[in-house]
Amino acid sequence: MNEVTPNAALARGATPVAPTPAGQAGALPAGHPAVRWGRVGVLLMNLGTPEGTSYWPMRRYLKEFLSDRRVIEVPRAIWWPLLNLVILTKRPGPKGRDYASVWNNERDEGPLKTITRGQAEKLQAAMGDRVVVDWAMRYGKPEVDQRIQALLDQGCDRILLVPLYPQYAAATSATACDQAFRALMKMRWQPTVRVSPPYHDDPVYIEAVASAIRRDLAALDFEPEVILTSFHGVPKSYLMKGDPYHCQCVKTGRLIREALGYSPERMRTTFQSRFGNEEWLKPYTDETVKELAAQGVKRLAIVAPGFTADCLETLEELDGENRHYFEDGGGTHFAYLPCLNDGPEGMRVIEHVVARELKGWVD
């Protein structure tokens, strides 16, 4: 194990040690605080989830999320009264009911939290004692600053931050890193930090998604006429300001389609989860679903390769709302194909990304 742990040594009655200029352990002077150092940490970071589905937990979560200037770029003078006087009054109730429809009642938590924990636990098992693996949420709990501190407390002076987003967006990857950097700004002894890059076109990721789609389609009792690859949307203005998200999503969709050997007509890229009056990335998933049903398409499947874990936007929005849109429009067969989650394909991708980015730290 690549660590020196004076605290553990002290517990056994040994002399405390600390790094010397030569990188070797030496005796600490009298009165020196105990030091843990020399280990490597990995922090998986996902978006977040409320702590409950009732009004106040939902309000706290929505306020933190919708107050983020990376997420909402509307001028504060306009957005603050709209958020605090309208949205946070009206949305917690309906949104809480949406979360309740997909809630993990056994653990009393959202599915995103359950799955992200599972990903961290399986990654730790795969990495063994070479690294310390932890996980955090950008909004809600467990909090990023606390989990970074937990890694430091275990002797991690090198930490790999892994935003769990295959495609980069300022409203996802960047804000997750912002939160980590805020924590670093308060530290006297900062760890050395790396950030894993987006992996939207990584062959391991593309093949994992394609493999999962093949498996899930084979398990259906029908063959879809059309398959939608649905990505979370962002306002079109973000693209025009230079955000690469749209381009990376389109490339991911194309690479998956080519790996499966489908035509552009049979496998299409769309964008979901818009709100407000501003134009968002198109084509919209819900409008496409309605249009396909109106055109006479009877068999439809949707997959969400931009999400590393199933959550409200996939389980309730895609498998719930959009299923209803399709069936109400005359569709007869609908399937939502799950995210990679902490299954074999999902863990293969995460392990690949982490192993690649730890080169030089962990052999």
Q: Domains of the chain: which residue ranges? A: 39-47+109-198+346-358, 55-102, 203-337
Q: What is the pLDDT of residue 26?
A: 59
Phi, psi of 265 (to 5 degrees): -75, -35
**CB 13 within 8 Å of CB 131:** no
According to CATH, what is the number of the domain 39-47+109-198+346-358? 3.40.50.1400
**CB 250 within 8 Å of CB 269:** yes
- Whose tokens are 């997750």? That residue is 176
Q: What is the pLDDT of residue 35?
A: 75
R_g of the chain, CA atoms, integer Å: 23
Low-confidence ranges of the chain (pLDDT < 70): 1-27
> Under 8 Å CB-to-CB from 30, ≥6 apart: which residues?
none
User: Strands 267-272 and 226-232, how do they pair?
Assistant: parallel
Q: What is the dihedral of CA 240, 243, 246, 252, to 10 degrees?
A: 160
In the numeric block, which tokens belong to residue 201? 């076109």
Q: What is the pLDDT of residue 17?
A: 43
Phi, psi of 221 (to 5 degrees): -95, 15
According to CATH, what is the number of the domain 203-337? 3.40.50.1400
Asked if domains 39-47+109-198+346-358 and 203-337 share a fold, the reply is yes
Q: What is the pLDDT of residue 363?
A: 80
Residue 59 region, left (φ>0) first, then alpha (ψ -120 to 50), else beta?
Answer: alpha
289: amino acid identity, one letter:
V
Q: What is the pLDDT of residue 23?
A: 40
The pTM of the full predicted model, rounded to 2 decimals, is 0.90
Question: Annotated binding residue at 246?
Answer: no
Question: Annotated binding residue at 232?
Answer: yes
